[in-house]
Amino acid sequence: MQFTFAHNNFNVLNLEKSLAFYKEVLQLTEVRRYSPPDGSFIIVFLSDGQMPHQLELTWLKDRKEPYNLGDNEFHLALKVDDFAAAHALHEKMGCICFENKVMGIYFINDPDDYWIEIIPLKR
């Protein structure tokens, strides 16, 4: 028996805002979408175009209040080949929420305040 990663899920309040964020900030693109006939939710899968692992964004029609993310101790991490350019972009966009210069990493937060760790390709 072998298990492999498929996706991680983030529930979002504003799907279009989140899709625009992930496209602009991390170049993730939509690869699949599902919405039941009653329109009660929409699930969108995003991909980096290289790895099979995906990010699932779930929007729930009746959800109005922000999600409780606790202490934000869980996060998604992405490697980037041009760390300096990514940092400059994210700094310009104002989405860097924590930086650890000693470790050579930083975190950005998405519109729902999920944290995403940015790691240089080679450390």
Measured CA to CA, the distance from residue 84 to residue 89 in angstroms comes to 9
Q: At CA 121, angle to CA 118 and CA 122, rounded to 5? A: 125
- Name the catalytic one among 24, 30, 99, 117: 117
Q: Which of 85, 73, 72, 92 is nearest to 118 (CA)?
A: 85
Q: Does the annotation mark 91 as catalytic? A: no
Please say whether the dihedral angle defined by the alpha carbons of residues 35, 32, 59 and 6, taken in this order, is positive or negative.
Answer: positive
Which residues are marked as active site? 117
